[in-house]
A and B are shown apart, each in its own frame.
Chain A
């Protein structure tokens, strides 16, 4: 068996008390002080474990943050004094898109680096908006390979970034066509820059350590160079450069050429002269992959397609952090915008040669797989890696306000460990989905809508024949 991509992980416990979904309210008065207190019978021993913490609470709500919601104590209490409630702090996590469930599962994955598993089937909505309006396929008998227990052992999740020639030309047995540099990363994931709404913590040193360990790429705002590495990291700067893609802000001081040469990819913001800048960069740093960052606003899709027409080979389309088209009244979702770009590039015949990176709203590992099925080659994301550090996505993430999760003052090992664990958990879950599909190559996921099922399409094709037209929302 060839050497396999592997991320070594160890659990990294949280710094703060956990915010669980359920809490137990204990109406102390009237307690019978019976000797069979049901609190002792909690299978998870929550009442005892958390009593020490609860004693330190100033106000008197007796919440158990890691209550599993089994109702055992509630239903056996002699005097019916215990009640189970949903923790309001839990319900207030995140926003409409970044739901408490997403935040909680991200915390769990950042702690354990493993695939979250639970019993009792699915508990959620039939379908939803965005990525929740699609399902991935499975196969009864097709496997990634016939080897191994599940065949998963042979799944490759690596993808390429850069221009792929449409064909090769040979002369007397030798390749004569130009073979541009491409860059391959072991997971179709790039850690992006922070969205402007979340500016408080400076997480670059952790991010860069985590991407070095996992050999993926992080996009770094060039204005932050070299402060994006801490002192110790700066001493061995070369070790980090292959995993950095500078976002070359035109106002920022230039990154020295010898530094750029050690990176494999750079990104430039879209502008009228983006293609000229790209050409200049490629001349100055031969072989470097240049991505053009296109904000997915009203013009985003058209612009991405136009840039490819004019010779761009890597497009990074970015929606807002909730995955929506930027500044549009009835925004489209990232998955639909990717599908459109992808389809239009197929029609123009350019799709196979260029790389499409999709960002905005990528919150869970399944979004990575689904974005690929919709036509992206790679996804980019930031917030999950901030949430990994116990961020709650409050809206106080601005200089001058203090972070309730204390992200300004986290330890290095903690920060790196939690991010690395989350990357590892995403990787494992991508393999789960690919294994179920019987897919061996993440490269082949791209645009394979035949291996996806879309809610609107299923409703129309299957229910439409039975129930006619769907009501307009």
Chain B
């Protein structure tokens, strides 16, 4: 369901008089429908936590197929024999408690269930298998994974930060709210400077991934999902592809240190321009595109010579002070009179000073990118060791901006290891207005986090590659739908959290760290905040009164 809207309509949307140079850049825009649609996995054998085996004793009576509500057992029309069970749909051990447990119900005892030993090889501390499986389920169905699956998808096993934070839900929601009374939108321009008060419908937008680092299909899927959810996606450092033009209204042009593909038009055509000072994946280090990845297509868009290695210097060679930074922002604001500017920085020890400096230079959005995220290739030494994890940075910057009286004039956006709706809610409770996500979108597209994106031909699963053969594994409709579904499921999870707190808007959650507890602390500070909810010992952040699950932090991935 796509339609073209004339540029004039969009002028009204902006509610502002646009300068001629901006109007000149406008092209017809494509709409993308927000609806959830099933987007089943694209591999023949999808991962299953429990695998169902059917033995030769099976007489193909069809009893199991009648019983199982999850459609694990399929006999294709016209066939007498059953196909291989679709184990990934099976809810596993929890089914024992139901009346339809096929393993017990099969009159021939032909079915067997085993825990898939391969699960141990899937995922890592930050993205354990359950989180990957849960994210895939969300991308497939648009719903949070059903409870029967018993997937602990909200927290990872990293043993710190988000993974040790839990919400203190009140025993009973203080107000009975229905889902549609809860607002998840946030405003990205909190300055009264006459520029548009851009609101996004969900408190997140998509992070920058350049063409070259990911495929066209990946980039476009992200952009289209951003359109569907009225949020944003970002070009990344590699320049603005013509194919992104129909989504201009939901794109952020990134101005990074290499200035690849940065031209007046690419700044004028978008509502937000992001200055990337640093990135969490490799804080303090510039990008480096190897010569053989600088293909003719990449070279064209980056306005570079084919085959030579492209370095992005670090940092901006034109910025050595806040005053220099201000000049940069003024430059963008002058070229694009309707644009908001975002300043993306990493998380040094003095991240609070950086943030307040950036605020005083006139940024609309302070985007903190913590060290544990990132999708692009980065030196291993940088991933683990440089800069502070985002959880600390959010709390530190939020507090400092509050103390400086600046907090309500700037949007604080966090990224770098935000993986789930629960992480999003925790980041907001720690003090962010919203977040930027990256890895989770790739996981929705089928990423297994094998981290080989930069090796040889790039991603073997066709996500982070420009190899002409590998990219054909994924199509645009599917990719778009998977991300739309993930966003839908996240929003539901987020609403579930807000509802339990009786909050009508996600904006009420900002900075409410009193609603969080840390499993490694005694949580004996600041308990007597006004309107603080009753303490709950429920350590699980999942909605609907689910039994608290013991946080499993020591399990090896």
Answer whether residue A401 sits at the interface, using C-beta atoms and an 8 A cutoff: no
Closest to B382 in A: A432
A468 — which chain B residues lie within 8 A by C-beta?
A: 521-526
Give the distance to chain B from A331, nearest Cβ to Cβ, in Å: 21
Answer whether residue A308 sits at the interface, using C-beta atoms and an 8 A cutoff: no
Task: Say which residue of A77, A121, A429, A463 sits within 8 Å of B383 (CB atoms).
Answer: A121
User: Is there an interface contact between B521 and A463, defined as CB atoms closer than 8 Å?
Assistant: yes
Give the distance to chain A from B189, nearest Cβ to Cβ, in Å: 23
User: Is there an interface contact between A118 and B452, defined as CB atoms closer than 8 Å?
Assistant: yes
Mask of B112-135 contacts with A, CB within 8 angstroms, 1/0? 000001101110111100000000
User: Is there an interface contact between B454 and A141, defined as CB atoms closer than 8 Å?
Assistant: no
Answer whether residue B387 sits at the interface, using C-beta atoms and an 8 A cutoff: yes
Give the distance to chain A from B386, nearest Cβ to Cβ, in Å: 5
Answer whether residue A52 sits at the interface, using C-beta atoms and an 8 A cutoff: no
User: Is there an interface contact between B315 and A469, defined as CB atoms closer than 8 Å?
Assistant: no
Answer whether residue A44 sits at the interface, using C-beta atoms and an 8 A cutoff: yes
A436 — which chain B residues lie within 8 A by C-beta?
A: 282-285, 382, 386-387
Answer whether residue A86 sits at the interface, using C-beta atoms and an 8 A cutoff: yes
B62 — which chain A residues lie within 8 A by C-beta?
A: none
Mask of B378-410 contacts with A, CB within 8 angstroms, 1/0? 111111111111001001100100000000000
Mask of A178-201 contacts with B, CB within 8 angstroms, 1/0? 000000000000000000000000
Give the distance to chain B from A447, nearest Cβ to Cβ, in Å: 15
Interface of B, helix, strand, loop or mixed by DSSP: loop
Task: Say which residue of A72, A80, A135 sits within 8 Å of B84 (CB atoms).
Answer: A80
Contact A469/B522 with A85-B118, A438-B284 known, Cβ cut-off 8 Å:
yes
Answer whether residue A127 sits at the interface, using C-beta atoms and an 8 A cutoff: yes
Answer whether residue A117 sits at the interface, using C-beta atoms and an 8 A cutoff: yes
User: Is there an interface contact between B121 and A119, defined as CB atoms closer than 8 Å?
Assistant: no
Task: Say which residue of B388, B517, B521 sits within 8 Å of A469 (CB atoms).
Answer: B521
Instruction: Of the listed stretches B71-79, B369-377, B501-509, B530-538, name the one at the interface; the rest are far from the partner chain.
Output: B369-377
User: Is there an interface contact between B375 and A120, defined as CB atoms closer than 8 Å?
Assistant: yes
Answer whether residue A59 sits at the interface, using C-beta atoms and an 8 A cutoff: no
User: Is there an interface contact between A70 and B448, defined as CB atoms closer than 8 Å?
Assistant: yes
A369 — which chain B residues lie within 8 A by C-beta?
A: 385
Contacts of A431-460 to chain B: CB distance below 8 A = 432-433, 435-438, 450-451, 453, 455, 458-459
Instruction: Of the listed stretches B141-149, B294-302, B331-339, B456-464, name the one at the interface; the rest are far from the partner chain.
Output: B456-464
Answer whether residue B158 sits at the interface, using C-beta atoms and an 8 A cutoff: yes
Task: Say which residue of B43, B321, B371, B514 sits within 8 Å of A135 (CB atoms).
Answer: B371
Contact A141/B321 with A76-B44, A83-B117, A118-B451 known, Cβ cut-off 8 Å:
yes
A429 to B384, CA, bound (A): 13
User: Is there an interface contact between B386 and A135, defined as CB atoms closer than 8 Å?
Assistant: yes
Closest to B526 in A: A466
Answer whether residue B316 sits at the interface, using C-beta atoms and an 8 A cutoff: yes
Mask of B99-119 contacts with A, CB within 8 angstroms, 1/0? 000000000000000000110
Give the distance to chain A from B527, nearest Cβ to Cβ, in Å: 8
Contacts of A406-443 to chain B: CB distance below 8 A = 429, 432-433, 435-438
B219 — which chain A residues lie within 8 A by C-beta?
A: none
Mask of A239-277 contacts with B, CB within 8 angstroms, 1/0? 000000000000000000000000000000000000000
Mask of B335-369 contacts with A, CB within 8 angstroms, 1/0? 00000000001111100001000000000000000
Contacts of A76-98 to chain B: CB distance below 8 A = 76-80, 83-86
User: Is there an interface contact between A462 and B392, defined as CB atoms closer than 8 Å?
Assistant: yes
User: Is there an interface contact between B124 and A43, defined as CB atoms closer than 8 Å?
Assistant: no
User: Is there an interface contact between B521 and A77, defined as CB atoms closer than 8 Å?
Assistant: no
User: Is there an interface contact between A126 and B44, defined as CB atoms closer than 8 Å?
Assistant: no
Contact A84/B314 with A127-B159, A138-B387 known, Cβ cut-off 8 Å:
no
Contacts of A370-404 to chain B: CB distance below 8 A = 370
Mask of A342-375 contacts with B, CB within 8 angstroms, 1/0? 0000000000000000000000111001100000
User: Is there an interface contact between B417 and A365, defined as CB atoms closer than 8 Å?
Assistant: no
Give the distance to chain A from B309, nearest Cβ to Cβ, in Å: 11
User: Is there an interface contact between A138 and B346, defined as CB atoms closer than 8 Å?
Assistant: yes
User: Is there an interface contact between B43 and A120, defined as CB atoms closer than 8 Å?
Assistant: no
User: Is there an interface contact between B45 and A458, defined as CB atoms closer than 8 Å?
Assistant: no
A163 — which chain B residues lie within 8 A by C-beta?
A: none
Answer whether residue A333 sits at the interface, using C-beta atoms and an 8 A cutoff: no
Contacts of B294-328 to chain A: CB distance below 8 A = 311, 313-317, 319-321, 324-325
A127 to B124, CA, bound (A): 14
Closest to A436 in B: B284
Contact A119/B127 with A44-B456, A85-B121, A462-B396 known, Cβ cut-off 8 Å:
no
Give the distance to chain B from A371, nearest Cβ to Cβ, in Å: 13
Give the distance to chain A from B374, nearest Cβ to Cβ, in Å: 4
What residues of chain A have their CB less than 8 Å away from a CB belonging to chain B? 22, 42-44, 68-72, 74-80, 83-86, 105, 115-127, 132, 135-141, 143, 146, 149-151, 364-366, 369-370, 429, 432-433, 435-438, 450-451, 453, 455, 458-459, 462-471
7 contacts between A and B (CB under 8 A): A75-B43, A121-B439, A122-B371, A137-B348, A150-B313, A455-B160, A458-B392
Given A469-B522, A469-B524, output 12 extra A-B contacts at Cβ < 8 Å: A68-B455, A84-B122, A117-B377, A121-B375, A122-B383, A124-B158, A126-B161, A135-B387, A139-B348, A451-B349, A466-B513, A471-B522
Nearest 7 interchain pairs by C-beta? A436-B284, A126-B160, A119-B453, A138-B284, A468-B525, A467-B521, A75-B43
What residues of chain B have their CB less than 8 Å away from a CB belonging to chain A? 43-47, 84, 117-118, 120-122, 124-127, 158-161, 163-164, 277-278, 281-286, 311, 313-317, 319-321, 324-325, 345-349, 354, 371-389, 392, 395-396, 399, 417, 430, 439, 442, 447-457, 459-461, 464, 470, 513-514, 516-518, 520-526, 557
